[in-house]
Amino acid sequence: MLLGVVSTFIGVSDVTPASLLAQGDDGVAARLLAVSRVPRTVALILTGVAMAIVGLIMQMLVRNKFVEPSTTGTAESAALGLLVVTVFAPTWSLFGKMAVAAVFSLAGTALFLLILRRIPVRSIVLVPLVGIMLGGVIGAVTTFFAYRLDLLQTLGTWMTGDFSGILRGRYEMLWLAFAMTVLAWIAADRFSVAGLGQEFSTGLGLRYGRVLALGLLIIATVTAIVVVTAGVIPFLGLIVPNVVSMMMGDNVRRSIPWVAALGAAFLMACDIIGRVIRFPYEIPLGVVVGVVGAALFLYLLLRRPARAH
């Protein structure tokens, strides 16, 4: 709550409690607050909650603590889908672009899981490396076609998370991502059992295939919505669930509220850093999260001994 208040009143324009009281409801400060500041803060909260929970679900389904949409090719696949729909159907609505991105995101995640099944020995470090390499290949294909079609600048807006352009009317799709996270909370117990493995969960009477399909649908939809709205946010879904897991274990239902709260707080803190470190200029949120997240990712890799998983 404190980070949300701070985020709302940080910016170049004079939007402070004093200016709001002085100008009234019809003043410039009040309009900026309603059109820009509040939507941006709400978008940060919704994105942090959704991406952190998606990372938790993906880690349970893959049974590896070092995977999330930016380390499995999921986010890169969503960007490829956006490029395809931009080239072949540029007049489609934002919802239509999101749907195409979700389909590509789902296909990319399924391809990652298919590759994992063909790897005989899965060390805890090998799995995310495979995902990063897959994402690199998909990203290279996307960049090649974007270069040939003179869409590199457009591609850059998708691949770099940035909330500076969030305004009222341009973030509301994130509420659909929030609805998907509520669905994940309802199915939390099933994801916990699925995380024990296909054979064990099937022996307990769980329909593993349906749970896996539901998890992939949530992951793909949330990733596509975030990429369409604000761009790729790396490492968020990796760092937050690991921190919560260290404190509370792997019970998904018990962990989800804490993962959601920490995800929103972490994203707002990184956004505040990006807005004040070179004030009045702004560093894109994806850059700040990438730097902080990469450092924490390396720490987690060095902290956990490599072993078969």
Q: 255 and 265 in contact (C-beta within 8 Å)? A: no
What CATH number does the domain containing 185 carry? 1.10.3470.10
Which pLDDT score is estimated for 307? 44
Backbone angles phi, psi at 152, to 5 degrees: -65, -40
Which distant-in-sequence residues (6+ apart) come within 8 Å of 251 by Cβ? 192
**Residue 45 within any structural domain of the chain:** yes
The predicted-structure confidence for 160-193, as pLDDT tens digits, reads as follows 888 888 888 888 889 999 999 999 888 888 887 8
Backbone angles phi, psi at 32, to 5 degrees: -65, -40
Which pLDDT score is estimated for 304? 55
**Residue 182 within any structural domain of the chain:** yes
Which pLDDT score is estimated for 52? 93
**Residue 308 within any structural domain of the chain:** no
Report the number of distinct structural domains present in the chain.
Answer: 1
Spans of the chain below 70 pLDDT: 20, 23-26, 121-123, 304-309
**Residue 188 within any structural domain of the chain:** yes
**Residue 309 within any structural domain of the chain:** no
Which pLDDT score is estimated for 24? 65
**Residue 214 within any structural domain of the chain:** yes
Question: Which residue range is the domain that position 48 belongs to?
Answer: 2-303
Written as one string, the DSSP assignment of 276-297 is HTTTTS---HHHHHHHHHHHHH
**Residue 77 within any structural domain of the chain:** yes
Which distant-in-sequence residues (6+ apart) come within 8 Å of 60 by Cβ? 191, 192, 194, 195, 215, 250, 252
Q: 74 and 38 in contact (C-beta within 8 Å)? A: no
Which pLDDT score is estimated for 122? 62
Which pLDDT score is estimated for 189? 81
**215 vs 154: CA distance, rounded Å:** 30
